Chains A and B, each alone.
Chain A
Amino acid sequence: DTGVSQDPRHKITKRGQNVTFRCDPISEHNRLYWYRQTLGQGPEFLTYFQNEAQLEKSRLLSDRFSAERPKGSFSTLEIQRTEQGDSAMYLCASSLALDGNEQFFGPGTRLTVL
């Protein structure tokens, strides 16, 4: 399978715990994006990378959230001190940095904070 993959697919955690998600983009894609989606809503932009550089981070993202893409390939998204409001589907997408190129989405990680 040469699509975007995410791990884990589901995560249940207790409030206050830290969680980390992984995304592996399509191999030749240099841009990688993180979105969050709650039930009945469209995906909400969190952050994106070009190669290993984090180019933009949403103002809505609290300092409990951090993302890395250390070697310009896979990326991790960490949430510290999780809150119930963090429960959502976390989607990763990748693309080539060319005009008009669509973003390809992974299957997502569903986070439930108890």
Chain B
Amino acid sequence: GQNIDQPTEMTATEGAIVQINCTYQTSGFNGLFWYQQHAGEAPTFLSYNVLDGLEEKGRFSSFLSRSKGYSYLLLKELQMKDSASYLCAVRDVPDKLIFGTGTRLQVFP
């Protein structure tokens, strides 16, 4: 079956660092994506990992371990505008995204 787990909610303080974990068990794997979604809006792309290791992109980094079925998204220097849902998605073969339920992050001043 297809299973992607991530925490439902997290809170953090402005300026802090937060790590959002994602574990997955899927029948196929062709990469892992992280998307950000503000309430009532479309998901927007943040990062993509297909090989093990860390991908860094400004304040956002994403890590992947394929052997462990594990990824995390790291957000640094948190800003109020980072309050949103963060969606972990596995790209299944040949090409569809299987999403987790999303992690709702609230950033407080």
Measured CB to CB, the residues of A under 8 A from B are 4, 31, 33, 35, 40-45, 48, 55-56, 91, 97, 99-100, 102-108
Contacts and interface: CB of A to CB of B under 8 A. Distances in A.
A24 to B, nearest CB: 14
Contacts, number: 55
A104 B45 contact: yes
Interface residues of B, number: 23
B89 interface: yes
The secondary-structure label for the interface of chain A is loop
B43 A43 contact: yes
Given A33-B96, A102-B45, A103-B33, 17 more contacts: A35-B97, A35-B99, A41-B101, A42-B4, A43-B43, A43-B99, A55-B94, A55-B95, A56-B94, A56-B96, A91-B43, A99-B30, A100-B31, A100-B50, A102-B48, A107-B41, A107-B42
